[in-house]
Structure 1
């Protein structure tokens, strides 16, 4: 049976019926202001401060303001991809053949783990994805927020706080905070269409997007947005055994998303508000091709071999309802309820269960993962005048958070052992490329936490401002934790200021890390063993040294210089140091003969070892962010130039010794191997530089961005001679637009010089058909051209 050909259209109507707002502007954003408007230095920020009139230029910590024009000018409709092109410290690679990670890709900030970044929407905590990244990609072992579930058409701006903020916001805010502020106007709107394709002739994309604002009587407003589109697969695999059967690149995706943001004020002192979103992503990704003579194949079903595929559907929904009020004494009150849910299903297509023989089905339902978040917040803010030169802003509040994680079993045939041996005599059970979750893996798990915080911030003099914050949290599963933060800024003159912060932080172990389990049958020397990812409380994992997970703890320091030496010129330099203790990682597979023999002799028949999550590593990350922007008002129009640079280096301070139980079983066991060490310390580019210019003259707009991605390294599991460092690469993005009344037409290209990363040394032998490393920070698809047409009112 031939490989199933992929249909060229969307699978669900949501991707067809959405009318939405995405203007095709070519303006770009800068570290502290959008490139199209330097006055954004005076824009009031809502992230990292509770002072009502704090601006970007006055912030005690580095803040990036990313405008919708910047997001749209990047040429992508993925929020994470757009942020990676606008922020020098954000990394968003495009892994392939990594199971569910192809569908829900993680992003990194300042070289840390994807789940060490807190994501907010309108200042409220966003829920994470249900997926846990288990395969060989950056962010292995993490379950971060799915940024691409939020439509770009809905976004007013993105505020990125590049600083530890657990004392202000709670768990996860170790590397920083991404706050997505939704459009909320009661009028205006836009609609846009976009089409693009890679120069290799594949990866065709088309999208529709739009937004619109409406009045709700005299005292209310509602803003709606939506986005939908389709993306074909890309393929950069090369011939093997004379033909190209493998597919290696981006998956096929159909996605649609809608959002709303509204409020109603029946009185001057009371406002009811609500916002939310829903998205559905339908993804078809690929495994490794099984050739006709492969023992895993059944020739009567697939005479020419087969390419197994994973069909994921991710459904994401979120809603916040709340009220804001102000007392007669000037105390501002914010009470809110926050709901979030993500579900991810796994259907395996164009495959078989070899152990069922020629009667095996070729499609299986392999199970599902779900996460749910409930958050209640009560926040107070009050400005108090002590008779000093300026008042002090106090903020305090409390939070209750409930979290749930569910793992659903697949159909029994997706993991069954039918007993029919392969041509080599082995029995190979389960759906190939992804064996279904077993009934013994399934379960429902939950926890809750309480927290309280206090925050004070003030301009103590005309030149000196400072802040202090503290937070206490109590979790039902691992206990209590306390974090604090100090921040200060001193302006030597109007043009030179120094800012610094020191804080402690934490990240609670996710329910996915504690309770995800997936066990499959593997053959070692012809003998079947049950091996997989075990829950930390699974008796077999406990026998191998697993322990209850505890929170990661961090210490953050930053020191920054803010310069405004001339009109239109703005420069920031921020150095940082982030120490993380008890970092949670997924161990290596523990499957040595000593481990297997111990398990077989001590009440675990059929269990041959596996892996589990562990607080085994302490890391130290140091780096610097530099951003400079210059704006000119010329006779021929406006010209803006922005430079961004990030350098980041992570080192491992300590790897915990093996637990006594594991050491007694196998003194040579390795829980954290060379490959994982390489991902943490060398897997992301050590530096990144971009230079962007945009020029607007008359009805025309032109933009160009040159980006240099620094080198990264992959460490071999056991042989240092097989380590490879992938060299730095330059990409160039260009766009030109023309405005005609309310219309705008844009023609653009990303990576127009068709740059590809270095080829892997592993192209020799059986892997010579997969030439590129999936950790490449800009992917490996080559040049992409697109056309956009938009209308605004």
Structure 2
């Protein structure tokens, strides 16, 4: 990728006088679609951008594609629980969705984010313009992001960030594969002096309707420090450290016990809160650095990196005392396994940039690695009998990528027109590995009438292990042009070759024409693609848990190369391809109001997704008879499941006005994205030969692609500030979602969870030039998603679904102190 020039204009911000007057004005004013100004003092639509174009002087308003810009203060004031970057983006961006999962396997530990309602692995994340690696864990147990290997946003230190630019458009030709929904470019703090210390503490305080109690839980602690020093000749060194701790929340209801489990021993635990639904406990340590050193002449050495270590706990379904999954000698009152995630994430980039005659050059090396160890406690391998261990390691996962880039760019005039030409090459190596769990986690013991493997996640066996790698090489060229003062364009072409999939050509053309100083039309068309991740190709696992009907089963997720999967009709995966088109306008009226509206259309062919869970005695008997492996009740594998079409619109606007000697800002934004399925893969003949009723990709997984994520989201924001006070009010409308189950026999219950409103607020007070103290709250009206109906709430245990954007935490209150020097 070509070099990025980080330019942040400074605009003076007027000061206000009294917080009371501003608060009254905020309450009486009509919200507008807007976003407030960033910490650099520039309103976002005035901010110079480095994403989506090779030109070095374009602002958000002048971009040929829609872009959101978030400043450092925006992230601080987002009030994110435990300093999580993903939570801050969820609060600030209408097109960004990051639901908090529970009882969802690996998704309890690594949350998957969506842009424009598409899959988490269809958005490309950059750090200072360089590709970020993805997680090593395939999130197979979740609804949102099911079957993907997402970037772990919460592994990126939030206090390391200077600003974030979110390109809401396909950009594969500009930045490479995966940029189907858009690009999120995270730009690190580059201050050459000074620093800051920050501490915050918060907790949930909520009325939980299903149990009729008021709870205080989910206490969170966040500590951070950063400092910088000037290295001379525009050089600097910036380093920082963060510590986070999150206590669990629980929104489970009273257990009614399923009818088929109502034995005397099990009825003895009826009416208790046997399940857990909510956040798990977590501890994080983050470190980061960002530096530039002048080498003499025009050359500059730069380096940046992040370090992340996180220990997390996740929830799993309760096992009853009188169950073949339990031994009363070990757990006389039943047990609920707890999953433990040990996540280590390291990334570093080093490079040299400078000038070579009329050319700017950038040469860099980029390495990132994620390691995840999955463990269980309070579990058991029932087939081993009462002497079974209760703690297990169920598997190790690792993903790494190494990149080398060399990029050239230069600007040149042609008459009254100015063009920026860029070209470059990239070579990338990816490696994916999985390691077996403890032998006891997958062993088949002497008690053959009991399920084998550790409960809540059988360990990876030596046969499940994967060791895959591939090489990716690409070459690109792009031109950003200004034809006079009214017309600007961006054009790019890229060829990318995968050692396992061959070559793909992507391209993009975008343009903006300013009809008048107050109005401009813009549009773009692009072709993009995404290759299946190595995890989607090679991941295998064995699990024991409950199916959609609440019955305990043993299941296998198989790679497409597994002989069992092949016998069921699995085929080699192929890359996803997409065509993106957008059309919109921007308008600025005077100095106080600006607005942008963008319509988009995205066709994606051959989307990679998990198949339905293929269950029942027919598949169990087939595997036993054909392969001599008994007791497998459910099988799934990846497939190129469907072609989809996503259409939508996004609106962003700002209004500013002096008030009481300072400035009042009103704003908001709106996003609508509707995904429909155009084609579904045929069920293979091998599968229907086993049972004519089997469907490879049906209602449950179709629901995952189309209706599980909210189609709409709106943000309304009011801000006011003077020399002493910063006031913030934010109202969010989370759109409706839909859950569909297939319980078999044609019984397919569903529920629509209605739209919900969320109120957030914060008051910050400055003490002198260095101290700031703030108090605030998220979801101050203590709103919850709709209660799940009797078909879905698991016999009273899980009253709330994980789909709604408002979550199931209830009201959250926090305090923050910050010292800057």
Deviation at 1:226, TM superposition (A): 1.8
Say if 2:679 is the partner of 1:654: yes
Paired residue for 1:287? 316
Deviation at 1:300, TM superposition (A): 1.1
Say if 2:444 is the partner of 1:420: no
Q: Which of the residues 572, 583, 590 maps onto 2:607? A: 583
Work out whether residues 32 and 63 of structure 1, in 8 Å CA contact, stay in contact via their aligned partners in 2: no
**How far, CA to CA, are the matches of 1:232 and 1:753 in structure 2?**
22
Paired residue for 2:693? 668
Work out whether residues 35 and 642 of structure 1, in 8 Å CA contact, stay in contact via their aligned partners in 2: no
**How far, CA to CA, are the matches of 1:217 and 1:570 in structure 2?**
39
Deviation at 1:548, TM superposition (A): 1.2
**How far, CA to CA, are the matches of 2:229 and 2:244 in structure 1?**
25
1:182-221 alignment runs, 5 A limit: 182-199=188-205, 200-218=215-233, 220-221=235-236
Paired residue for 2:350? 321
Say if 2:729 is the partner of 1:704: yes
Paired residue for 1:410? 437
Paired residue for 1:80? 86
Paired residue for 1:9? none
Say if 2:341 is the partner of 1:337: no
Paired residue for 1:722? 749
Work out whether residues 451 and 554 of structure 2, in 8 Å CA contact, stay in contact via their aligned partners in 1: no
Paired residue for 2:576? 552
* DSSP-derived class of the 2:101 partner: coil
Decide whether aligned partners of structure 1 residues 43 and 753 sit closer, same or farther in structure 2, where only a CA change above 3 A counts. same
Paired residue for 2:6? none
Decide whether aligned partners of structure 1 residues 521 and 36 sit closer, same or farther in structure 2, where only a CA change above 3 A counts. closer
Work out whether residues 32 and 65 of structure 1, in 8 Å CA contact, stay in contact via their aligned partners in 2: no
Paired residue for 2:129? 123
Work out whether residues 94 and 713 of structure 2, in 8 Å CA contact, stay in contact via their aligned partners in 1: yes
Say if 2:492 is the partner of 1:473: no
* DSSP-derived class of the 2:253 partner: coil
* DSSP-derived class of the 1:492 partner: strand
Say if 2:515 is the partner of 1:492: yes
Superimposed CA distance per residue, residues 713-772 of structure 1 (whole angstroms, 9 cap, x where no aligned partner): 111215566210001100100111110111011010100000011000137785312100
Superimposed CA distance per residue, residues 83-120 of structure 1 (whole angstroms, 9 cap, x where no aligned partner): 11111111111110112111101011100001000000
Paired residue for 2:145? 139
Work out whether residues 92 and 778 of structure 1, in 8 Å CA contact, stay in contact via their aligned partners in 2: no
* DSSP-derived class of the 1:70 partner: helix
Deviation at 1:484, TM superposition (A): 0.5
Size of the aligned set, in residue pairs, is: 760
Deviation at 1:480, TM superposition (A): 1.1
**How far, CA to CA, are the matches of 2:37 and 2:513 in structure 1?**
21
**How far, CA to CA, are the matches of 1:644 and 1:186 in structure 2?**
34
Paired residue for 2:63? 59
**How far, CA to CA, are the matches of 2:611 and 2:640 in structure 1?**
10
1:7-22 alignment runs, 5 A limit: none
Say if 2:407 is the partner of 1:384: no
**How far, CA to CA, are the matches of 1:106 and 1:689 in structure 2?**
21
Q: Which of the residues 619, 623, 640 maps onto 1:615? A: 640
Work out whether residues 29 and 66 of structure 1, in 8 Å CA contact, stay in contact via their aligned partners in 2: no
User: Quick check: 766-775 or 179-188, which moved more?
Assistant: 766-775
Paired residue for 2:531? 508
Deviation at 1:660, TM superposition (A): 4.0
User: Quick check: 131-140 or 404-413, which moved more?
Assistant: 131-140
* DSSP-derived class of the 2:417 partner: coil
Decide whether aligned partners of structure 1 residues 223 and 254 sit closer, same or farther in structure 2, where only a CA change above 3 A counts. same
Structure 1 residues not aligned, in runs of 5+:
1-25
Structure 2 residues not aligned, in runs of 5+:
1-22, 27-31, 206-214, 256-269
**How far, CA to CA, are the matches of 1:75 and 1:523 in structure 2?**
36
Work out whether residues 383 and 447 of structure 2, in 8 Å CA contact, stay in contact via their aligned partners in 1: yes
Decide whether aligned partners of structure 1 residues 91 and 367 sit closer, same or farther in structure 2, where only a CA change above 3 A counts. same
User: Quick check: 587-596 or 35-44, which moved more?
Assistant: 35-44
**How far, CA to CA, are the matches of 1:117 and 1:358 in structure 2?**
47
* DSSP-derived class of the 2:346 partner: strand
User: Quick check: 182-191 or 40-49, which moved more?
Assistant: 40-49
Work out whether residues 33 and 654 of structure 2, in 8 Å CA contact, stay in contact via their aligned partners in 1: no
Return the TM-score normalized by structure 2: 0.89
User: Quick check: 434-443 or 139-148, which moved more?
Assistant: 434-443
Superimposed CA distance per residue, residues 419-455 of structure 1 (whole angstroms, 9 cap, x where no aligned partner): 225xxxx221111111111111113111111111110
Superimposed CA distance per residue, residues 654-696 of structure 1 (whole angstroms, 9 cap, x where no aligned partner): 0021234434444432111211111211111121111100111
User: Quick check: 621-630 or 599-608, which moved more?
Assistant: 599-608
Superimposed CA distance per residue, residues 215-245 of structure 1 (whole angstroms, 9 cap, x where no aligned partner): 2255521111221111000001122212223
Work out whether residues 32 and 57 of structure 1, in 8 Å CA contact, stay in contact via their aligned partners in 2: no
Paired residue for 2:598? 574
* DSSP-derived class of the 1:540 partner: helix
Work out whether residues 38 and 631 of structure 1, in 8 Å CA contact, stay in contact via their aligned partners in 2: no
Deviation at 1:327, TM superposition (A): 1.1
**How far, CA to CA, are the matches of 2:315 and 2:294 in structure 1?**
51
User: Quick check: 339-348 or 760-769, which moved more?
Assistant: 760-769
**How far, CA to CA, are the matches of 1:751 and 1:523 in structure 2?**
32
Work out whether residues 202 and 234 of structure 1, in 8 Å CA contact, stay in contact via their aligned partners in 2: yes
Superimposed CA distance per residue, residues 459-500 of structure 1 (whole angstroms, 9 cap, x where no aligned partner): 112211112111111101111111110100000111100110
Deviation at 1:530, TM superposition (A): 7.7
Work out whether residues 31 and 87 of structure 1, in 8 Å CA contact, stay in contact via their aligned partners in 2: no
Paired residue for 2:338? 309
Deviation at 1:167, TM superposition (A): 0.5
Paired residue for 2:54? 50
Work out whether residues 416 and 430 of structure 1, in 8 Å CA contact, stay in contact via their aligned partners in 2: yes
Decide whether aligned partners of structure 1 residues 490 and 31 sit closer, same or farther in structure 2, where only a CA change above 3 A counts. farther
Say if 2:564 is the partner of 1:540: yes
**How far, CA to CA, are the matches of 1:521 and 1:246 in structure 2?**
16
Work out whether residues 36 and 717 of structure 2, in 8 Å CA contact, stay in contact via their aligned partners in 1: no
**How far, CA to CA, are the matches of 2:512 and 2:596 in structure 1?**
13
* DSSP-derived class of the 1:144 partner: coil
User: Quick check: 759-768 or 391-400, which moved more?
Assistant: 759-768
**How far, CA to CA, are the matches of 2:166 and 2:36 in structure 1?**
10
